[in-house]
Structure 1
């Protein structure tokens, strides 16, 4: 790999510092309330310098999405290197994903925002959007691969195509996370007041349900 020049390293350092600052500001105030001025101040940069790296708050949020999905994939990839049955791989990947989101809610919000703008023409050729899409595709590959391993070693039912099953698990995981975050939000369905659950219990019960459902 080509070694970066001093100027390139400094540019990268500033870019990462901006993303760090944006994670804090958006995490505290929310995406709509956060401003470019606050992010620049937190990063200890002039507003002009900030705009040299990111043209808008949206582009920064997408950079947060890319970072989060990349870090999550790094953790998920480790599961596939372990000597586990396919079923255990699926369960471990589930724990990695759900605990990662619990620890980094800003990334879950960024993931959802990214998905909300996918059909907007202005972002169709964005390099950062393409990178986010590559990361999402890689994450799905990890899930599908673990399902394939399980179908081969006999720990997972082979009655559903692994790609379709992976999509079901992905979608269900997002729904569980959304419901967990709603419980901590001011606005949520009133029926949730009648259900006692913790973030941890929701995670454990969901993973157990998925595991028992696909186990052969």
Structure 2
């Protein structure tokens, strides 16, 4: 690998600093209320310098999405390196994702923002959109691979379609997180107050439901 020049290293260091500051600013003020001025001030940079690295607040938010998804993927990859059964891997991937989002709700918001602008033609040629897309594909491969391992070792029902169930798991987990985070908002649907739950209890119920749905019951009976 080619060694980076001092100028290139400095540029990368400054870019990471901008993303660090942007995470703090957006966490504090929300994406809509945050400004490039606030980010530039927090990074102790002139606006002109900030714009050399990021052309807009959207591009910074996509960089946050990229950072968050890469961090998440590293955690998911660790699960695939364990000696767990496929079913246990799927469960642990679920726990890993939910714990990650509980600890980093800003990344969840950035993931959702990226997904919401995919239908906007003006972002069709955005390099960061493509990077975020590849990160999402990588995350899905971990889910699918865990299910394939489970089918091979007999812990997961062989009649399931790993790719289709991977999408179900991904979509359902996003819904569970959305509901859990909604309750933390000052204004939320009254129905959320009719049920006693916490993020952890909702997470556990979801993982248990998901596991029972894909488990190979015949294998369990043999054991």
The one-character-per-residue Cα deviations of 1:185-216 (angstroms, maximum 9, x if unpaired) are 12322111111111111111111111111111
1:7 and 1:197 map into 2 onto residues whose CA distance is 51
Give the 4+ runs in structure 1 shifted more than 4 A.
Answer: none
Task: Give the unaligned 5+ runs of structure 1.
Answer: none
Determine if the alignment matches structure 1 residue 46 to structure 2 residue 46. yes
Counterpart of 2:60 in structure 1 is: 60
Task: Give the unaligned 5+ runs of structure 2.
Answer: 217-223
The one-character-per-residue Cα deviations of 1:65-121 (angstroms, maximum 9, x if unpaired) are 000001100010010011110001001111110000010110000000000000111
Task: Please show how residues 3-152 of structure 1 align to structure 2 within 5 Å.
Answer: 3-152=3-152
The one-character-per-residue Cα deviations of 1:114-153 (angstroms, maximum 9, x if unpaired) are 0000011111111111000000000000000000000110
1:199 and 1:151 map into 2 onto residues whose CA distance is 30
Task: Please show how residues 167-186 of structure 1 align to structure 2 within 5 Å.
Answer: 167-186=167-186
Determine if the alignment matches structure 1 residue 210 to structure 2 residue 214. no
With normalisation by structure 1, the TM-score equals 0.98
Q: Indicate the SS of the match to 1:210.
A: helix
2:187 and 2:117 map into 1 onto residues whose CA distance is 23
* CA-CA distance at 1:44 after TM superposition: 1.4
1:145 and 1:125 map into 2 onto residues whose CA distance is 30
Root mean square deviation of aligned Cα? 0.7
